Amino acid sequence: MIDFVGVARERVYSPGKVEDDRAILDAVADRLRAHHRVTVVSADDPLPAVTPPTVVFAMCQGPDALAAMRRWEAAGVRVVNSVAGVENAHRRRMLAAFARDRVPHPESVVLDTTDVAAVPAWVDAGAWLKRGDVHATEPDDVVQVADRHAARDAIAAFARRGITAACLQRHVAGEVIKFYAVRGGGFFAWYGAEGVRIDRDTESRMRALAEAGAASLELEVFGGDCVRDVNGSLWLIDLNDWPSYGRCRFGAAEAIASYVQQARNP
């Protein structure tokens, strides 16, 4: 019997999804309890001491919790997702990793929000502005901009809010598809807008793209968004560490629990 500790995400990093985020973590914990001792704690509270062979499954994203998890990892505790994976999902690191590993993604650039002159010309064809550090914590963290003038105004608004880095991503016309997965093909589900149809070849390519992105970021439990353009090509827009799996919670919880049970340090 192995001891497991689940760490719930901080409320500030679950905008509008506090209950959904906690629901998937609790669902995984419930399945693990059939054969193991499981404790679930919140990253909003002081985290307990954890030592091997305990396995941690964690949704936390804040600096204090990640510092604690880094100490656990240094002591030999297996953590899913790892601190490296969570931090790699921050957009600045994500884009660098995708470029390094040639993961197909829309042309993107990370800017200092004090340098509005650095906005590239391709923004005039349409783009998305996103905060360049953590994922969105409120609606204004992701803004569609029509041109350089609108982009500069939006970047200035970021700066006024204390956001120091912004990501500009070229708009790709096409069908946006959300996906949820567990590393290694243990689980994969996708959802498009009404009327979107995906054949087997496209789903296979989407799975491969998701796996490539996850490998690049060192993520194990993840979800994201991709676009199928008018030519049928797929582009990875975003990849998130441990989403809420709200539309596929039952199957995802089974797969994550199975994955976490097999997660052991060599």
Question: Are 160 and 219 in the same domain?
Answer: no
Total domains in the fold of the chain: 3
Element (H, E) at 210: helix 200-217
Q: Are strands 3-8 and 55-58 parallel, antiparallel or unpaired?
A: parallel
Domain that residue 32 falls in: 3-81
The CATH number linked to 193 is 3.30.470.20
Asked if 7 and 67 sit in the same domain, the reply is yes
**Does some domain include residue 88?**
no
Q: What is the pTM of this model?
A: 0.92
The SS3 assignment for 15 reads coil
Provide Rg for the chain, Cα atoms: 19
Residue position matching structure tokens 């959904």: 20
Q: pLDDT tens digits for the chain (266 residues)? A: 579 999 999 998 888 889 999 999 999 999 999 999 999 999 999 999 999 999 999 999 999 999 999 999 999 999 999 999 999 999 889 999 999 999 999 999 999 998 877 899 999 999 999 988 766 567 788 999 999 999 999 999 999 998 989 999 999 999 999 999 999 888 999 998 888 889 999 999 999 999 999 999 999 999 999 999 999 999 999 999 999 999 999 999 999 999 999 986 54
